[in-house]
Structure 1
């Protein structure tokens, strides 16, 4: 399907959603409405719910060389979509990316899923095999942006077919995917990029008690990609929480662009009540269009502490974390909401190669989050990134960001 027709097709799919489930319609079933951030309508096996999110950032950046100095505010994300069930077996989800100043409307998740008691099949745009941090919604990650490793190694959503299985404390996912539906189709006489990927997670310790969650999460993932006739992959990163310039860059010439690559990594997450730690490592190896071999690596370590005692919610059958619900939300009668302090160390090595902008980025950040009530969150981050080019000029960026977000 041409990418420019995605919006039209998806709107038609959403509008027809109720009709698709006609075979499961029970004339005697009552229509009921429940509330989960927004109304969800149910009739028999059918369900339908409008969903969305809005993230607004205010940022002050100070670079040693002045490359991206300045104070700015911007919309980081604006999504509007829908999810539901046609029957208990057939489910769907579509989120449109409506970010102002973007040149077109895109899609985030956009898939149809067939679900059984033990496994499910997914077709569409999804990221079911991504590493831990990318599997967590941007609404629920501890920091304002994901790690340099996640952003540089091009994890994210692509269109294809996926398989999912899992239980209370384990998950497995595998996928065969092509390009993202958001990438423009500019050539029609070659193959688009393809990827085969898988992820497995296991929680040998996962206990839930009134005082909080006790957890040990382990995970591994792997991905093999072939660029086909579209070798445009450029491995690079912005400073932590940064906008604009990507100071550390593997290069744009053919000698540095991957024709094929393999990425593999490991995950660790620990939690004991209000205290937690998350760490991930990944390595990318590949051959460039110019016939040269390249190897890159990155990792991060996060620690966090819920000052008000809550635990992050963990979903064992997905191997990921969800939203934190405040024990004492802010209401007319009082309440503090949820407060969380966090710290991060982040490292990315893109020094292998010939481009003068290649190098290493070492960063650290501290953050303070406030969740006054479910689905509303404020995040304050201070991040420092040392960007050391193998050849040429180094730089350092200090970035302060305040995010306001809500979802429904």
Structure 2
């Protein structure tokens, strides 16, 4: 299989990395020279995330698959605290990533371009290279609004607070999602020290779409299948869309507990309004003792403290309810996901996820079990 060849290739590179370091060069498991810094403090660099996945289903109605999940590459030029210019593209999914100009000063950060809408912590705040599980939780992917063109303002100069307000209009760089979105996110850290962090967040947005149709659907937490087990079908006569997100995260040493509640409300003209919600609860434990970094109201990736890497175990329960009698019967679904991650140096990660989905829609019940593997290179 192609996945096996990818793993063998990655392990071959890892095998020669100590020799690289012994010759005085850069260690493959250490930091990589992906940026340059001028004497004036201006940085120019690259960011990347390349992930290859394999998924096996116990249900014959699903098809086992292996494929690239992401092929993301971004370039940036910045002077910290002054400005940043970023340009990024996902070659696998053929979508533009965050592309913007940001100006920083005493009044906060002003960003102009394409960037993520603010509702949904896992989507809006956490990069694809830093996710604990191979896929984000169902409610996040179902209700997330995607990237849009616009302007936003971020302010972090009040101790233990984070503020973000956005006005996005004109769709995205692919010409989709035409309309206007107003959104905001605020985070408070009642506890934030070297031993533990408590993160409490609230976000909301209001969207006015030019296209008056919306469809709410979601795959099980395995994106190598195209099947959606819960699905509202097309909701027509959509006038406005409201989204609400609540987030709570606690980290103490190698333990991290995380939860979100998300809700979507759709105002329709000449048809019943529609609403749906969902939530998840997740926990992870780093067996080797490391903890995740925390910056700008988001937790980052692990950096192993040992030559052979770091190991993390995780579990998550997520639930979504797309039934709104009188408007749409989209179904209900609950997923249990169990994961194990091996962080090999600062730029390699191997992930295993086992997902048990339990879905019911219009009298049809499905409960596929899915085993997934990922080989990831990120920088």
Contact 1:303 1:343 (C-alpha < 8 Å) held by counterparts: yes
Q: Residue 241 of structure 1 is aligned with which of 222, 243, 253?
A: 222
Aligned to 2:87: 94
1:159-238 to 2 correspondence within 5 Å?
159-167=149-157, 169-184=160-175, 192-208=178-194, 213-228=195-210, 230-238=211-219
Aligned to 1:61: 57
* Structure 1: segments with no counterpart, 5+ residues: 1-34, 186-190, 331-336
Q: Equivalents in 1 of 2:160, 2:49: separation in Å? A: 29
* Structure 2: segments with no counterpart, 5+ residues: 1-29
Aligned to 1:324: 302
The yes-or-no answer on 1:152 pairing with 2:145 is no
Q: Residue 301 of structure 1 is aligned with which of 261, 276, 281?
A: 281
Q: Secondary structure at the match of 1:260?
A: strand
Q: Equivalents in 2 of 1:299, 1:177: separation in Å? A: 26
Q: Equivalents in 2 of 1:367, 1:280: separation in Å? A: 19
Aligned to 1:30: none
Aligned to 1:19: none
Contact 2:261 2:279 (C-alpha < 8 Å) held by counterparts: yes
Q: Equivalents in 2 of 1:161, 1:386: separation in Å? A: 40
Aligned to 2:264: 284
Aligned to 2:14: none
Contact 1:49 1:84 (C-alpha < 8 Å) held by counterparts: yes
The yes-or-no answer on 1:347 pairing with 2:328 is no
| Count of residues paired in the alignment | 346
Deviates more, 1:379-388 or 1:125-134: 125-134
Q: Secondary structure at the match of 1:151?
A: helix
Change (3 A) 1:379 1:360: same
Q: Residue 75 of structure 2 is aligned with which of 60, 78, 82?
A: 82
Aligned to 2:344: 372
Could you state the TM-score of these two structures normalised by the residue count of structure 2?
0.86
Over aligned residues, Cα RMSD in angstroms? 2.1
Contact 1:94 1:109 (C-alpha < 8 Å) held by counterparts: yes
Deviates more, 1:397-406 or 1:349-358: 349-358
Displacement of 1:295 in angstroms is 1.1
Could you state the TM-score of these two structures normalised by the residue count of structure 1?
0.80
Q: Residue 126 of structure 1 is aligned with which of 111, 115, 134?
A: 115
Q: Equivalents in 1 of 2:258, 2:212: separation in Å? A: 33
Contact 1:38 1:50 (C-alpha < 8 Å) held by counterparts: no
Deviates more, 1:219-228 or 1:245-254: 245-254
Displacement of 1:354 in angstroms is 5.7
Q: Equivalents in 2 of 1:371, 1:95: separation in Å? A: 24
Contact 1:38 1:51 (C-alpha < 8 Å) held by counterparts: no
Displacement of 1:128 in angstroms is 6.0
Displacement of 1:87 in angstroms is 8.3
Q: Equivalents in 2 of 1:384, 1:288: separation in Å? A: 35
Q: Equivalents in 2 of 1:39, 1:121: separation in Å? A: 26
Q: Equivalents in 2 of 1:303, 1:128: separation in Å? A: 25
Deviates more, 1:298-307 or 1:118-127: 118-127
CA deviations on 1:295-339 (whole Å, 9 max, x unpaired) are 100000001111001111111xx2111111001132xxxxxx110
Aligned to 2:242: 262
Q: Equivalents in 1 of 2:332, 2:65: separation in Å? A: 27
Deviates more, 1:277-286 or 1:44-53: 44-53
Q: Equivalents in 1 of 2:86, 2:221: separation in Å? A: 30
Q: Equivalents in 1 of 2:81, 2:290: separation in Å? A: 33
Q: Equivalents in 2 of 1:207, 1:86: separation in Å? A: 27
Q: Equivalents in 2 of 1:36, 1:94: separation in Å? A: 22
Displacement of 1:129 in angstroms is 2.0
Contact 1:130 1:156 (C-alpha < 8 Å) held by counterparts: no
Displacement of 1:117 in angstroms is 3.6
